[in-house]
Amino acid sequence: MSKKVLYTLEYPVRCSPAILYEFLSTPAGLQEWFADKVDEKDGFFSFGWNDTTDVAEVLEKEEGKFIRFRWTHALKDEYFEFAIEKSEITNQTILMVKDFADKKEIKDQSQLWEYQIKDLFHRLGN
């Protein structure tokens, strides 16, 4: 099995970091764009799509800045993260998505994120 590599995607967002963080870190917010059904209990998020469910543990978070998840079936050093940054030049809010994938799958995985982020932006009115 090949080792997955970390890749980062950046998306400029037209909304406040506080509102964006709600969509990235709460079951109600994530259910708006990331999964059909989202529940949280004791730092574990259950994500449901059609008849599939997957569970991710919150590894680390900082209010308004970032949240890092690890799928319970993933290797210990693999995670996915949503981070919010401000461009010092334009003062624009930037959503950073970090994830792991096999090198040959990064393009396909990036396209999946593009689709998800478009849905998020639609919900945010972007």
Report pLDDT digits (tens) over 53-86: 999 999 999 999 999 999 999 999 999 999 999 9
pLDDT for position 88: 86
Question: pTM to 2 decimals?
Answer: 0.93
AA letter at 4: K
What is the strand order of the sheet 52-62 is part of? 5-13, 93-101, 80-86, 66-71, 52-62, 44-49, 37-41
88 in helix, strand or coil?
Answer: coil
pLDDT for position 90: 86
Residue 92, token pair as written in the block? 């624009």
Assign a CATH topology to domain 5-124: Alpha-D-Glucose-1,6-Bisphosphate; Chain A, domain 4 (3.30.530)
Per-residue pLDDT band at 3 (split at 50, 70, 90) = confident
Bridge partners (DSSP) listed for residue 99:
7
Instruction: In whole angstroms, give the CA distance from residue 4 to residue 77.
Output: 10
Nearest CA-CA partner of 84 in 7, 5, 16: 16
Question: Which sequence spans correspond to the domains of the chain?
Answer: 5-124
89: Cβ–Cβ under 8 A, 6 or more apart, which residues? none
Q: What confidence tens digit (pLDDT) does each residue in 36-60 have?
A: 999 999 999 999 999 999 999 999 9
38 in helix, strand or coil?
Answer: strand
pLDDT for position 56: 98
Q: What letter would DSSP give residue 63?
A: T
CB atoms within 10 A of CB 49: 11
